[in-house]
């Protein structure tokens, strides 16, 4: 999250839980709740519901940044805390959750463990790199932003019905691995979540995805 900075307060003057009252952090935690639901539904094999949880996690993640940039009076501590909270939630939402998707759809076959391990390692490295160095030239990411993993996997899963379960499990693993490689590549990609129009487009995509998978649940 990017916000206006102001004087840093004495950390002892505020309780840990006081940061929950910050609206962008509430959005971040709502996204974590969606991720938890997605993981639960992946484990029990209810994939349409899991896809809805995954895309709403992205929507809340993008929304918290938009809200943070428009809020006035947030302190430097608010900004730093929100940034760390985002980072920790991202590794669960965009690292662990896609990994569980590959494992679950592959019936937890241990043959998929090497792929999932690479996905987790590259996801952690990707987030650590961004946390350390930020945007390239202040405008673009180095490597594919990790939130795109969930956006694309949710789209790819729409074609699940065209393949047998075994074939699609391999497709998912290959896509997950390919996205992870892009995450740590040297390609330059724009910061899509930084523009209001892109947040609106993601909101429309989120609703469309929710309707598509919600229909499958009926």
Q: List the chain domain ranges.
A: 18-217
pLDDT given for residue 134 in this prediction = 79
**pLDDT band per the 50, 70, 90 thresholds, residue 9:** low
Name residues whose C-beta falls within 8 Å of residue 10's C-beta, 6 or more positions apart in sequence.
none
Phi/psi for 88 (5° steps) reads -70, -35
**pLDDT band per the 50, 70, 90 thresholds, residue 12:** low
Q: Using one digit for the tens of pLDDT, what is the confidence trace for 130-155?
A: 888 878 776 788 899 999 999 999 99
Instruction: Report the 3 state secondary structure along the chain.
Output: CCCCCCCCCCHHHCCHHHHHHCHHHHHHHHHHHHHHHHHHHHHHCCHHHHHHHHHHHHHHHHHHHHHHHHCCCCCHHHHHHHHHHHHHHHHHHHHHHHHHHHHHHCCCCHHHHHHHHHHHHHHHHHHHHHHHHCCECCCEEECCCCHHHHHHHHHHHHHHHHCCHHHHHHHHHHHHHHHHHHHCCCCEEECHHHCHHHHHHHHHHHHHHHHHHHHHHC
**pLDDT band per the 50, 70, 90 thresholds, residue 167:** very high
Note the pTM of the prediction, 2 decimals: 0.87
Between residues 19 and 62, the one the model is more confident about: 62
| Fold of the domain built from segment(s) 18-217 | 1.20.120
Q: Is the pLDDT of residue 65 over 80?
A: no
**pLDDT band per the 50, 70, 90 thresholds, residue 1:** very low
pLDDT given for residue 161 in this prediction = 92
pLDDT given for residue 6 in this prediction = 41
* Range name among 65-79, 88-102, 128-142, 195-209 with the lowest pLDDT average: 65-79
Q: State what percent of residues in the chain have pLDDT above 90.
A: 61
pLDDT given for residue 7 in this prediction = 44
**pLDDT band per the 50, 70, 90 thresholds, residue 3:** very low
The whole-angstrom distance between residue 41's C-alpha and the CA centroid of its chain comes to 17
pLDDT given for residue 159 in this prediction = 96
């Amino acid at each position: 999250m990017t916000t206006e900075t102001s004087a840093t307060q004495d950390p002892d003057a505020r309780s840990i839980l006081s940061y929950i009252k910050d609206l962008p952090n509430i959005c971040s935690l709502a996204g974590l709740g969606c991720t938890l639901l997605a993981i639960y539904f992946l484990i029990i094999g209810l994939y349409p519901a899991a896809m809805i949880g995954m895309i709403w996690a992205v929507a809340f993640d993008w929304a918290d940044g938009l809200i943070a940039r428009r809020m006035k009076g947030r302190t430097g501590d608010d900004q730093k805390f929100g940034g760390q909270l985002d980072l920790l939630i991202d590794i669960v939402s965009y690292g662990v959750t896609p990994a569980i998707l590959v494992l679950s759809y592959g019936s937890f076959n241990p043959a998929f463990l090497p792929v999932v391990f690479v996905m987790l390692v590259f996801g952690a490295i990707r987030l650590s790199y961004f946390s350390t160095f930020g945007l390239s030239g202040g405008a673009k990411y180095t490597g594919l932003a990790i939130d795109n993993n969930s956006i694309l996997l949710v789209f790819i899963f729409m074609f699940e019905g065209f393949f047998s379960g075994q074939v699609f499990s391999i497709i998912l693993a290959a896509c997950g691995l390919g996205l992870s490689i892009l995450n740590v590549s040297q390609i330059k990609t724009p910061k899509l979540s930084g523009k209001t129009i892109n947040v609106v487009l993601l909101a429309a995509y989120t609703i469309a995805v929710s309707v598509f998978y919600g229909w499958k649940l009926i």
